[in-house]
Amino acid sequence: MPISLRDGAFDADTQLVVGKEFEAVLAAAQEGSEDAFAVLWRDVNPALLRYLRVVAQEHAEDIAAEAWVQVVRGLPRFSGDEAAWRAWLFTNARRRLFDQARSRRRHPAQPLDDIRGDEVPRSPDAEQIAMENLATESAIATLSRLPEQQAEVILLRVVAGLDTDVVADMTGKTPGAVRVLAHRGLKKLQALLSGAGVTL
């Protein structure tokens, strides 16, 4: 049986999704329980990384780390359910994303051509990641080919599990515009998959 990240109509779910226990876990984390906070982190971080790999690409992990630091700072004052928790985290990540984009515009990065080969940072497990979760990586790569706004809306709806109104609020669009973007993105995705003959 396939295992899904989000708890929904899919019967199977991972134990990392908090679900009904969210309220108690959050309370424990706000009381200072490191283990409870780790549960929250494991719940959302994979989805956050997948979202950021599409919209921020190579900066995904940096932005995710910055967003989590902000979340840790604001955790004592947070109140809400798991959906609100996710919305808060993704909103935070979007802000970090925009901040970093502005920073990159002001301070352009040094091209890799100018860096010696032995200085190029290597991800030791990039290949391992691809092998372990080829389907997910392939899906992320396919989503990355969509127009940015369409891809973001689809990811926020599908990966983050946010409803249309929340996504509209986050992105500053109307729910109708979000829905249109998502539908166009899915149609574009369908066309890409059909034309490319991608098999997941």
Report helix, strand or coil for 17.
coil
Residue 43, CA atoms < 13 Å, CB-side half-sphere:
23
Looking at residues 139 to 158 of the shown chain, list those that interact with another protein (rule: CB under 8 A).
139-140, 142-143, 154-155, 157-158
Q: Is 169 in the site for another protein (CB under 8 A)?
A: yes
* Cβ(150)–Cβ(55) below 8 Å: no
Residue closer to another protein by CB (options 78, 101) is 78
Cα of 85 vs its chain's centroid, Å: 13
Q: What x/- string results for residues 95 through 114 when contact with another protein is judged by CB under 8 A?
A: --------------------
State which of residues 55, 56, 97, 189 lies at the interface with another protein (CB under 8 A).
189
Q: What x/- string results for residues 14 through 53 when contact with another protein is judged by CB under 8 A?
A: x-x------x--xx--xxx-x--xx--xx--xx--xx---
State which of residues 115, 135, 147, 174 lies at the interface with another protein (CB under 8 A).
135
Q: Rounded CA gap, 169 and 93, in Å? A: 15
User: Crossing angle of helices 134-143/175-196, nearest 10°?
Assistant: 120
State which of residues 55, 56, 64, 97 lies at the interface with another protein (CB under 8 A).
64
State which of residues 19, 72, 104, 145 lies at the interface with another protein (CB under 8 A).
72
Q: What's at 58, amino acid-wise?
A: E
Total Cβ atoms within 10 A of residue 56: 20
Q: Is 177 in the site for another protein (CB under 8 A)?
A: no
